[in-house]
Amino acid sequence: MIISDKTLKKLIKSGDLVVDPINEQSIQPASIDCRLGDTFLEIDSSAMSAISMSDEIIYRKVVKDSITIPAHSFILATTVEYIELPDNITAFVEGRSSIGRMGLFIQNAGWVDPGFKGKVTLELYNANSLPIILEKNRRICQFVFCFMDDHAESPYVGKYQGQKDTVGSRVFKDIESKKSNKKR
């Protein structure tokens, strides 16, 4: 069940749900708007000949008040807001319609597990034929929170727990990774 604005306010006030910083204008009828941070990661294509799921990806970190995403390009960003989800609430991350209409696709794999604590890394793709300029502190996405049918037996404690900045892919740490298995 999607959580309403009224219930979101109650959960935040009680401390059962953490969204920080939060202001009244961010709370929408069935979501909370989140803003773009100032830290971005771009894949360093000069340092790699290909991207592999078994090797750590090399990124260039960019800290700026605004960034231009070239046409048909991809970057990682983060939200200003830090969240903490209890073990019975999950969240979807959705792009704002106004941003999508510019040709900017926003994703974070679309899902935040119960028990997650941290800022949410966003995957941004410019599907437009023109560059898109993004500015920090602008509303870029929204979190849609949902109650689960029961508390999670195993809340999230994974490789992105506690992130406070934009974090690149850690797929190379997955148990299926050949290199990860060699270290065992």
Distance of CA 140 to the CA centre of its chain: 11
- Please work out, in degrees rounded to the nearest 5, the angle formed at the alpha carbon of residue 90 by the alpha carbons of 101 and 7: 90
Q: Tell me how many degrees the CA angle 100-105-109 measures, rounded to the nearest 5.
A: 130
Give the active site residue among 56, 123, 135, 176: 123
The Cα–Cα gap between 21 and 24 comes to: 10
84 part of the active site: no
DSSP 51: -
Can the peptide bond before residue 86 be classed as cis, meaning omega within 30 degrees of 0? no
Cα 40 from Cα 63, distance rounded (Å): 6
Instruction: Kindly list the catalytic residues.
Output: 123
